[in-house]
Structure 1
Amino acid sequence: MVEQGKEQETKDFHPAPVWLDESYLEPLLRDLKKDPGLRITELEIKPATAKGDNYASVMTRVKILFLRSSAKIPEIEYYIVKTTYENDPFASDIFSKYQVSTTEMLMYEKVLPQLSALIEETRQPEKVFAATLHVDYEHDAIIFEDLAVSKHVLADRLIGFDLEHTRLALRKLAKMHAAAAVLNERKPGILTKFDHGIFNRYTKGFAPFFENLCDVAADFAATCPELGDHYARKLRELRKRVMEYSARVYDPQPDEFNTLVHGDFWVNNVMMRYGERKEPLDMILIDFQFCSWSSPAVDLHYFFNTSVQKPIRYEHQEELVQYYHTVLVETLKDLKFGGYTPTLRQFVLQLERGGFFAVTVALTCQAILTNDQTADADFNALMKDDERGRNFRKVLYHNKTLQENLKYMLPRFDRSGLLDVID
């Protein structure tokens, strides 16, 4: 029975890095605890992410029992170690072009501590990010606090956020965006160098994923009685332009409000802490591989089209944008931001100008982030144009939640002109 369980764990979870062992961790812990005589007495390493939970990295949970040099009773620490797909040359090659490891290591080592310090200066300070313990550039690894110790957990990505969760997420995001704008104002250029988001002007490595899923979406529309050939034709035309149109949303505009966006802001990239009645008490943002200096439209369209329940997406989006804007402006004022602060109307128009990104996310990212068939859920299946990849992408569109969302959203996108080809 034990062997069977191990086999299932290996099958369903990404393996831990081979170099992550006692000889690697003991010197780090000695430095962290400022005790050169400290020694590890027991080490437990377990995968922290299942297939389908994360497509861009490997998360490993580490439990360490250790003895300080002058102690007789061992202490326990819990950490999360985040690494890249180092054993997969195909995935590693593509992710390296997006500078995902460099971006996140710089974020955790240099940027997030400064953003946290700025948020502490405001009238309503709060914790937004996990504490960084160590950044390892040799292994492209980050070690940070295990938020499970403070009873933070992942929410259910298949259910999505209700109104209370959504407001909490937008409050945290607005504070990150405001603090980033202020940091770049105080230290010009420190954040504008982050320019390798999911869509950028250096690489189109993810193009097979986005373009192929546009085709699958068109196939779905063609066979869906509520949609039909009209939408199928439009989606096939957009396939050729999805990369360029999305990149335009990412391009920072000199006459708009720009900031450092999270770039992958959805249910599984925040950790929740709940009360006794399962009410959300707190939220911590995680996963900063795709940060870029862009329009907040990137994060807002991504979030609304991947992570919220249908009533939120369909009926409450305007009031929630207003709430985000209120927190953004208040935080900018607290930090005495001297740059351009958009009025609500100006901000709404900015989101509308970036509206095509909602189409991209609804057709593609939503499909993988709400996928409930995880047997083949890995990066290769998303990207490769082989039989396994084609079958997996078709399976994504068997999802009833995705289908219902698109039956509702595609006509709305069409009526707004977002499905029209305009070069």
Structure 2
Amino acid sequence: MPENLDTEQFNADELVPPEWLNAEYLEKILSTYENAPELKVTDLKISPASAQGDHYASVMFRTQVEYTTGKGTFIKPLIVKTMPEEEGHKKDMLKNSFIFETEIGTYSKALPEFERILKQAGDNTKLYATCIFHSVVPRQVMIFEDLVPQGYAVVRGRPIREEEVHAALSKLAKWNAASMKVNNENPAVIDEFKYGLFDLPTLMKDPMVTSGMANFINMLDQVPDLKKYKPHFEKIKDTYLERARAVLTEYRTNPQSDGYYVLCHGDFHLRNMMFKHNKETGVLEDVMLVDFQICNIVPISIDLIYAIYMLMEPEQRWSHGKDMINSYFTVLVDTLKKIGYKGDMPTQEKLWQQIHRHKIYDFFLLTTFLPLILAVKANTFKMNEIIQDPVTRQKAYLMDIYVAEARKLLPLFEQLGYFKDL
């Protein structure tokens, strides 16, 4: 670890790398990747790859590898992503999960095909970082080229800007368009992506999820002007999780003839994307999506609803949220036309119908994930505290910023008719 490292900024399980992550291990991987059997690692520096609150479903390290080959001396910055080895909540929640197999398949199969389709149509959009190595046994590991030296950075310490939201949604639209073409013409390419958020073996039994609605109803009880909404949520408290699961598994279990289905990102929030700005002018040049652990085929509404709660800032949600999703739709349709999509072309009206039809997913995000993301963004609580400590979790539901969001969302839900026919 680097000297003078501020350990409070990082996840505890990323402060000390595992013993197997050493020069010998990376030497074997790089010699194969570079096709240079004579390659020798001469120096290795390892540090945590991300800050508190950036992620939970993995352990990540940033490595700087110095090595020599017959062509000279080189330095390669890498990100090493693996599963938690320390005993505790994180390891228990992720054991026996599908997430590494899903992410490996996304990087090695789906996204390369999507890029090929776009490039064939004259669009050179880059959808993913270069993955130089992946394995499932003897341990689950993925190794990527580090995007930071390439000029990319995670947004921290400030709100995301509207142009950045537009850029992220635009890249998602191109990804979704390519996946619609594949699903229409060659579905076997993405058929393996069957497991999403609600298929994580232990997540749906975790108190963070199972206590969400109770904590939300408790908040409504304590805020006089919101108490009138309590009966609506009392009505669905015993069924909303299974109903949300049904939405996310709709493609597999109950496909709709007029449904739009795409390979989704599944966790489309601010810390799962990196932005590149021009160093001199500050102009936004690109955004790169990362962390594809729960990609699966779902209704097109899922990532969009998620973005409303988990990506956009509150003022963006209320001022331009609908416009930003309509802008996403424009890029989606333009890309579908460009790449020669042969299915029925989506319409904006049906897109919004599907977003509204999946209102139960709004309720899930509002009552479970929104207080977490607001607390992390505001540095009020740490992510692991909210996930693991019931007292901290209850406090998150009473934060002023969360109550303010409820005061705006609940009347909007009422206006949209979301409380009818529950």
**Aligned residue among 267, 272, 286 for 2:270:** 267
Map of 1:258 onto structure 2: 261
Distance 2:392 2:24 in 1: 40
Counterpart mapping for 1:160-309 below 5 A: 160-200=159-199, 205-206=204-205, 208-228=207-227, 230-250=228-248, 251-252=250-251, 253-255=255-257, 256-275=259-278, 276-309=280-313
Label 1:201 to 1:381 Cα distance change in 2 as closer, same or farther (>3 A).
Answer: closer
TM-score between the two structures when normalised by the length of structure 2: 0.89
The one-letter amino acid paired with 1:188 is P
Is the partner of 1:135 in helix, strand or coil? strand
Is the 2:195–2:296 contact (alpha carbons within 8 Å) kept by the matching residues of 1?
Answer: yes
Alpha-carbon spacing, 1:9–1:188, altered in 2? closer, same or farther (3 Å): closer
1:330 Cα deviation from its structure 2 partner? 1.4
TM-score normalized with structure 1 length: 0.89
1: distance between equivalents of 2:354 and 2:115?
27
2:215–2:394 CA contact under 8 A, matched in 1: yes
Question: Which ranges in structure 2 are unaligned for 5 or more consecutive residues?
Answer: none
1:137 aligns with 2:136: yes
How many Å separate the matches in 2 of 1:137 and 1:374?
36
Q: Aligned to 1:67, what secondary structure does the other structure show?
A: strand
Q: Which amino acid aligns with 2:403?
A: Q
1:393 aligns with 2:396: no
CA-CA distance at 1:69 after TM superposition? 3.4
Q: CA deviation at 1:42?
A: 0.5
Q: Distance in 2 between matches of 1:270 and 1:28?
A: 26
SS at match of 1:78: strand
Instruction: Give the AA of the match of 1:101.
Output: F
Aligned to 1:155: 155
Helix, strand or coil at the partner of 1:337: coil
SS in 2 for 1:340: coil
Residue aligning to 1:323: 327
Distance 1:394 1:28, change over 3 A: same
Matched, 1:110 2:134: no
Q: For residue 377 of structure 1, what is the aligned residue in structure 2?
A: 383
Consecutive unaligned residues in structure 1, runs of 5 or more = none
Q: CA deviation at 1:97?
A: 5.0
User: Which deviations, in whole Å up to 9, do the C-alpha atoms of 1:264-311 show, x marking residues without a partner?
Assistant: 001111100112343422100100011111011110000111111223
Q: Structure 2: how far apart are the matches of 1:292 and 1:375?
A: 30
Change over 3 Å in CA distance of 1:355–1:122 after alignment to 2: farther
Q: Within 5 Å, give how 1:2-81 maps onto structure 2.
A: 5=5, 8=8, 14-15=14-15, 16-69=17-70, 71=72, 74-81=73-80
Q: What is the identity, as a one-letter code, of the residue corresponding to 2:274?
A: M
Q: C-alpha separation between the residues in 2 aligned to 1:122 and 1:360? A: 38
CA separation in 1, counterparts of 2:375 and 2:247?
25
Shift in alpha-carbon separation, 1:40–1:398, aligned structure 2, 3 A: farther
- Indicate the percent of aligned positions where both proteins have the same amino acid: 26
Distance 1:7 1:162 in 2: 29
- Aligned residue for 1:336, secondary structure, equals coil
SS in 1 for 2:127: coil
Matched position secondary structure for 1:290: coil
Is residue 10–residue 51 contact of structure 2 (8 Å, CA) maintained in 1? no
**CA RMSD for the aligned pairs?**
2.5
Partners of 2:282 and 2:71 in 1: how far apart?
42
Partner SS state of residue 194, structure 2: coil
CA distance 1:10–1:306, shift in 2 (3 Å): closer
CA distance in 2, matches of 1:48, 1:398: 32
| 1:81-137 alpha-carbon deviations (Å, 9 max, x no partner) | 111223336534443454111111111122222222222123433112111111111
Whole-Å Cα distance in 1 between the matches of residues 61 and 96 of structure 2? 24
Q: Which amino acid aligns with 1:350?
A: Q
**1:14, 1:421 → 2: CA distance?**
47
In 1, Cα distance between equivalents of 2:402 and 2:381: 18
- 1:177 deviates by 0.6
Query: Higher mean Cα deviation, 195-204 or 231-240?
Result: 195-204
CA distance, structure 2, for counterparts of residue 278 and residue 370 of structure 1: 26
Cα 1:32–1:343 change in 2 (3 A) is same
Counting matched residue pairs gives 411
User: Shift in Å at residue 7 of structure 1?
Assistant: 5.6
Q: Distance in 2 between matches of 1:195 and 1:47?
A: 31
Specify whether residues 128 and 8 from structure 1 end up closer, same or farther in structure 2 by C-alpha distance, changes over 3 A only.
Answer: same
Contact 1:160 1:307 in 2 (8 A): no
**Aligned pair in 2 of structure 1 residues 64, 338: CA closer, same or farther (>3 Å)?**
same
Three-state SS of the structure 1 residue aligned to 2:75 is strand
- Structure 1 distance, partners of 2:45, 2:415, is 55
**Alignment partner of 1:171: what SS?**
helix
1:233, distance to aligned residue in structure 2 (A): 3.8
Per the alignment, in what secondary structure is the counterpart of residue 126 of structure 2?
A: coil
CA distance in 1, matches of 2:304, 2:340: 24
Which whole-Å CA distance do the structure 2 matches of 1:10 and 1:207 have between them? Answer: 23
Q: Would you say 1:409 and 2:409 are equivalent positions?
A: yes
Give the Cα–Cα distance (whole angstroms) in 1 for the partners of residues 270 and 205 of structure 2: 21
Which deviates more, 136-145 or 276-285?
276-285
Q: Distance in 2 between matches of 1:351 and 1:11?
A: 35
- Tell me whether 213-222 or 410-419 shows the greater mean CA deviation: 410-419
Q: Secondary structure at the match of 2:241?
A: helix
